[in-house]
Every structure is written in structure tokens, then in C-alpha cells.
Structure 1
């Protein structure tokens, strides 16, 4: 039996299950490599905005089953709602076994407070939010599809993946200003509220940095995404780190053997009857 890395808290966000951009197989490999006490799903895990019955592959179902299995095995799973799964906000405060739904959460970690939320609440306050909204539409989906073809060729030739969408965002002044403003606004509010850590998703930019002003300081963290960056946040031994699948994948294992060969009907059946474990 393969050993798993013990992690006190793991945070993932912006998986966008149900879209062409989601890299579910890589995420399943990552989830299978860790044994967290708490798993925080920080928004946009299932993309309800763009959900289509025509596209929900087996690998995406496996991720859902894996998350439910982790909860059934004793992992505390906190699903924080985002803008692409905002329909779940009406269920905030609801718990099903070890899974609970919330709009935000504060965790006590070794005497320090971590404030965790998705981040879309700040879109209305930031002037360039419309750019990312447009980028997240059909044009973004087309770009992701093109990028997958390019990356397939790169991987086959033994070269590293390349992100067209990341390159475009990093070269557009409006996007860079939005990201910078987002980080500053979130951090300043966290400092005002005396939080030691503030953890977001939403902007698909993994980051860990100290933000400081005359009122104090906080550590700003962003879990990135599983479309462009394949990243997560992990807390262990009183410190945070960014996990990057591209560079740290040797720490991960392949997806669970018990669901490797399951067909779609079996996966759906396993997901729908899983609640019996918690009764």
C-alpha cells in the first residue's frame, strides 16, 4: 500500500468540473497522494454556470467520488461557494456527514487565524473585473481547447506544458491591474480584521506573500486553479506552501485503483449511495 503525505489543511479552488479546461486526472492524482485532516474546496469546484449534460467525463465523476470518499473516511471537507457554483449559496450552513457548505470560514491554526473565502465578492468593487468575466466566457473555453491540443503535442514530445491563457492575462495591463488591486484590497481588509492569513481563489493566480501597511501585516495566499496552474495550498508544521503539480508531481501517486476501471454507471451509483456510510 502506498503511503500518503499527511497534511493538516489542503486548499484547492477553481477546478471547474464540467468544462473542457478542467484537468481532473491530475487533480485525482494529487488528492490520492495526500491525507489531510481538513480539505477546503474554495469555490468554483463544479462549474454550474457552464454545466452541460453533453460534457461531464468519467474523470470528472471520479473527482466527485474521491471527495465524497475522503469525507466518508473522516476528512473534514469544507465546500466554500464561488461565483461559478453560487447556486449552492442557498445551502450555506448545511452539513452532510463530514461535508459542510459555507460562504466563508475562519480556521484556527496554531494560535493564528486564517480567513478563507473564494474572492468573487470583490468583483463589484474592482474596476477591471469585466475583463476577467469576458475572459471566462466562450472565448476562454475556445482558448483552453486550443491549448489542450498544443499541450498534448508538447507532452508527447517530452516538453513542458504551456498556458496560452496565462500568457495572455500576464501581458494585458487591465488583467494585471485587476489582480494587483484584488490582492491589495483583500489583504488590507484582512489586516483591518486582524487575520494572520487570508486565503482566496477566483483569480487563478497561485501566490503566497506578506502584505504589510501601517496597521499591521497578513499573509496573502491564493490556491490558484486546476485549469492553468494545477496548484493547491498545504498547511503542515505551522507553515503554508504552494503545491504545484507540474514541479511537485513526484510527490503524488496515481489515482485510486478502486475507481480506475469503474464505468460511468458504477461511478454515479457509488456517488448516490455514498451517504449510507454516514448514517
Structure 2
């Protein structure tokens, strides 16, 4: 099936290597699109909770799709987050069509987009990292339990239920944190005269225009691939929020070769981009 052409795609918070990651769905989505620019906005690989015993083939397929994109001409920007902060020691690395950075400034049709993960605003990550890691582990098991319960609900013909979304919407501190996050990001973007500010981190997909006495900006959050299965897409001077459905445009089960040589693909990325 023909792939959809997209100018810019932003995904974040895939948390590959954890039980909660919807890797199969993410790989299907990546296989269905042909972006000019792909931005991986942090927490793609969850190094905090990485287990040698758990990195199934569905998770490897996501990496394969990303490498395939880069080898075929897509500009891939990997921006670091808190769960993959180990990669920050290698920031500002550029190899062919692939770059590893902490933040990105992008010009889109004469407008400036400021892209970063967003954990810089999270005090628990910056000052009490062990608490944040413990919370991340609890969140992972909550998502796993939620997935099992939704499986049971599906068998009973009931609608799925999200524990984490219920907690976020009912706990005052969670609601306040999300609100403070958005205000901080947009205030800084307006101060810096950026037209778009694009974040991840809080697993809350959103597109919202924000205005204060100094100006206005468009706040965008790409959501995640644990609960929401969302991405941001930019085409024809407009942003939209993509939400994965149970009937994706294209699946990857029918690809000619299910196995792949990581070293060979990395070589393709480098030499294909070098020819351009």
C-alpha cells in the first residue's frame, strides 16, 4: 500500500523496552508514512527501566522503521528526554540524515518551531531523580495492569478504561502540574518569539493556541505510545494530531524480510545520505 507523504512528524514517549509500550502499533504507523522530517522528541528508548531480558522483536521493528526512514532520505532528529538522558553525553552528533540533540529549532514556511522534550520543567526529575525513577516503574506496572483489565473488558464487550487518565484528571496536583508545564513552555516560547513550541514528557496530546500580554504561540504536545498512541503531523502549513486506530493504513507483518541487519542498515543511512 502506498505510504502517506508527510512534511514533518513528531513522536515522543514510546518507552521502548517497557511492558507498557505499544511498539507494534508504532511500527505500523511508521511503516504507513513517508515523512520529510521525523522528530523523535525524547523517551523513545526507556533506558531508566531497560531490561536485557525484555526487548521483543516488535520493539526492534520500531528501530528498523526509524533507520529505514533515514536511509531513504528522511531527516531524523532524535531529541533526548529524561528516560533516555544517558544519550545526552553524545548530544550534537550528526551522521548522515540522523542527528542526536537536546533541542531543535526548525523553520516551517517562515515560522519558527522550538522543539524539546520538556523534562527540564520537571523539578522531580531534576532534583529527586530516584523518586522519579520509582514513579516511572510504578507507572509502567499500572499500564500493564490496565492493559490486562482492558483485555477483560473487551471480552465482555465493554469500553476500555484508563487508570492513568483518571488519576491525572482527578488528582489536583497532577492537573496543576500539567497546567504549569503548559504555561511555562508557552511563556518562554512567546518571550523568544517562537511561533510553535512542541513538547512531550507529560503524555498529554494537545494543540492549543496560547496568548498573553506579550504575544501568542501555538502549544503542541505529541502525547505518547503508551496510553494515547498519538503523533503530531505537519502538512500544508497546518498541524494536526494523529491518533492511531485499530485499523492502520499499513501493517508491517507482510514485509518481505522480518529480520534485519542493524549494522547494514546504519551503513545504508550513512552512504545514502552522503550521496545527496
State TM-score, norm by structure 2.
0.91
Is 1:258 the counterpart of 2:237? The answer is no
Structure 2: distance between partners of 1:199 and 1:135: 27
Native 8 Å contact 1:126 1:182 kept in 2: no
Question: What does residue 122 of structure 1 align with?
Answer: 121
* d(CA) in 1 for partners of 2:140, 2:233: 29
For 2:151 and 2:46, how far apart are their aligned partners in 1?
Answer: 24
1:191-242 superposed Cα distances (whole Å, 9 cap, x missing partner): 0000000000000000100110010000000000000000000000110000
Q: Is the 8 A contact 2:7 2:36 kept in 1?
A: yes
Deviations 1:114-141 (A, max 9, x none): 00000001113999x99x9377433212
What is the match of residue 74 of structure 2? Answer: 75
Whether 1:272 and 2:263 are equivalent positions in the alignment is yes
Q: Deviation of residue 159 (structure 1)?
A: 4.9
Report the counterpart of residue 65 of structure 2 in structure 1: 66
Q: 1:191 corresponds to which residue?
A: 190
Structure 2 residues not aligned, in runs of 5+: 272-276
1:257, distance to aligned residue in structure 2 (A): 2.6
Larger CA deviation: 176-185 vs 142-151 = 142-151
Counterpart Cα distance in 2 of 1:216 and 1:12: 27
The answer to whether the 8 A contact 1:126-1:178 is kept is: no
Alignment: residue pair count: 270
Cα deviation for residue 250 of structure 1 reads 4.5
Q: Which residue of 2 aligns with 1:18?
A: 17
1:34 equivalent in structure 2:
33
Partner residue of 1:98? Answer: 97
**Residues 119 and 125 of structure 2 are in contact (CA less than 8 Å); yes or no, is this contact kept in structure 1?**
no
Q: Distance in 1 between matches of 2:161 and 2:18?
A: 19
Look up the match of 1:153.
152
Q: For 2:8 and 2:104, how far apart are their aligned partners in 1?
A: 13
Q: What 5-or-longer segments of structure 1 have no aligned partner?
A: none
Please report the RMSD computed on the Cα atoms of aligned residues, expressed in angstroms.
2.4
In 2 relative to 1, CA 145–213 (structure 1 residues): closer, same or farther, beyond 3 Å?
Answer: same
| Equivalent-residue separation in structure 1 for 2:154 and 2:4 (angstroms) | 27
Give the 3-state SS of the residue equivalent to 1:121 in structure 2: helix
Measure, in 2, the Cα distance between the counterparts of 1:150 and 1:34. 32
